Structure 1
Amino acid sequence: MSGSCGHDVAFDGMSTGYKRALIAVVLINAAMFVVELGGGAFAGSMALTADSLDFLADSLTYAVSLWVIGKAVTWRAWAAFGKGVSLAVMGVGVFATTVYQIFVLGVPDAAVMSGIGLLAMAANVASVLILFNWRDGDANVRSVWLCSRNDAIGNAAVVVAAGLVWWSGTGWPDVIVALLMSGLFLRSAYQILTQSIAELKQAKANGPEHDHVHAPAPEAGE
């Protein structure tokens, strides 16, 4: 699917359906932040704690994404840039806390890890399905899709890690998954930052008269 539907301008979120989808995803992420933060602390799992922070960042940045829809290209590109920076910071933070897990903390509770991981995966798969028809577009729209898709992948990895923690009796699977999630955050940050910077440069080159050009919304089912 092309978010621009054959036009030169990428889909910018100007769709009632997209806005409703984004509101639903914001609420899902905010609820799961609370659930996973508590579960991660109870189970002593860095993978769950890392994922809870991702839910928090997503709920906040998706709210910003919703707010900038319909605003100038530069506003939307800067919003995406901010998301990219937050993902990069989070990736570094997860790496640091994982190192702490290796040397200080013990083996996480595999049962709690697995149960909450499955719930988080269901929440993220629901978000991915809700956003599927709007997976391409400008940096603002694209960053929402990338974050949701990566979250679903990350949660599947947490569930696998829980099984390996139970099987091996060690915390290393949890540590490895947390490190992989850190890498996923950094990779997504790079993609989002690259696209947002390109859009900011293009907006500057085009001049202010083109800053509010909108692309039509993708048709349902595309």
Structure 2
Amino acid sequence: MPSAPTAITPAVLRRTVLVVAALNLAYFVVEAGVALTIGSVSLFADSVDFLEDTAVNLLIALALGWSLHARSLAGRAMAAIICVPALAAAWQAFAKVSDPQAPDVRALLVTAGGAILVNTLCTWVLARIRHHGGSMTAAAFLAARNDIVVNAAIIVMGLVTWWTGSGWPDIVLGLVIVVVNVTAAREVWELAEEERLAAKALAGEID
């Protein structure tokens, strides 16, 4: 007889998203470090995706035990944290415009391949809880799945860079990813604002 599936309790949900947050934070450090070493704008911008996913999954874990007001404050802090490396990536892109040297393609391809593996693992881990924990859990699953497409785009860009020897494909893709990251930060901020308004409504401060 097949064993019954594990119930998705709050403890299971929290443990799952914390594992995903840890994976994302660890690879953020790896990818950002490689990107700064080889001078890749797109790879550094992509590392912000891992920081954003770290923030979202931590917010889900916090949401299981914190008040609406506390979750709102945490959400806004995380949105601000996401913007810092995104702005740094934009600055790196503009700094390279005057000297668009191509990054080390081999290191770029290996690191982007690792990013695909990490995001695939996160997608698999989140798949069983995507319908539990509300819209944020579903958003975390979709974000991890969509990040695989971005990682694949970086690999394609790396091949174009190897073929052309130009740093422009890296700069252009990096700026596109920066725009995506800032949009994600705004969405986290808006979600935190919704939590703040909900908290005020529960407190009777909003009619």
User: TM-score, normalization: structure 1?
Assistant: 0.73
Whole-angstrom CA distance in 1 between matches of 2:28 and 2:191 = 27
How many residues end up aligned between the 2 structures?
196
Aligned to 1:50: 45
Q: Report whether the alignment pairs 1:204 with 2:204.
A: no
Task: Give, as a single letter, the amino acid of the residue that structure 2 aligns with 1:196.
Answer: A
Superposition map of 1:1-222 within 5 A: 15-56=10-51, 58-59=53-54, 62-63=57-58, 65-104=60-99, 106-132=101-127, 133-134=129-130, 141=137, 144-145=140-141, 148-207=144-203
Which runs of 5 or more residues in structure 1 are unaligned? 1-12, 209-222
SS at structure 2 position matched to 1:71 = coil
8 Å contact kept, 2:45–2:89: yes
Deviation at 1:81, TM superposition (A): 2.3
Whole-angstrom CA distance in 2 between matches of 1:74 and 1:142 = 22
Task: Give, as a single letter, the amino acid of the residue that structure 2 aligns with 1:21.
Answer: T
Worse-superposed segment, 40-49 or 63-72: 63-72
- 1:136–1:187 CA distance, 2 compared to 1 (3 A): farther
SS at structure 2 position matched to 1:134 = coil
Q: Deviation per CA, 1:176-195, whole angstroms, max 9, x where unpaired?
A: 11111101111112222222
8 Å contact kept, 1:18–1:134: no
8 Å contact kept, 1:80–1:193: yes
Task: Give, as a single letter, the amino acid of the residue that structure 2 aligns with 1:168.
Answer: T
- 1:26–1:171 CA distance, 2 compared to 1 (3 A): same
Deviation at 1:113, TM superposition (A): 0.7
- 1:205–1:114 CA distance, 2 compared to 1 (3 A): same
- 1:71–1:192 CA distance, 2 compared to 1 (3 A): same
Task: Give, as a single letter, the amino acid of the residue that structure 2 aligns with 1:120.
Answer: A
8 Å contact kept, 1:22–1:66: yes
Worse-superposed segment, 154-163 or 46-55: 46-55
RMSD: 2.9
Task: Give, as a single letter, the amino acid of the residue that structure 2 aligns with 1:181.
Answer: I
Q: Deviation per CA, 1:94-133, whole angstroms, max 9, x where unpaired?
A: 2121111222451111121111101111101211222233
Whole-angstrom CA distance in 1 between matches of 2:138 and 2:74 = 12
Once the two structures are aligned, what percentage of the paired residues are identical?
26
Whole-angstrom CA distance in 2 between matches of 1:86 and 1:38 = 17
- 1:52–1:195 CA distance, 2 compared to 1 (3 A): closer
Task: Give, as a single letter, the amino acid of the residue that structure 1 aligns with 2:34.
Answer: G
Whole-angstrom CA distance in 2 between matches of 1:162 and 1:58 = 24
Worse-superposed segment, 169-178 or 36-45: 36-45
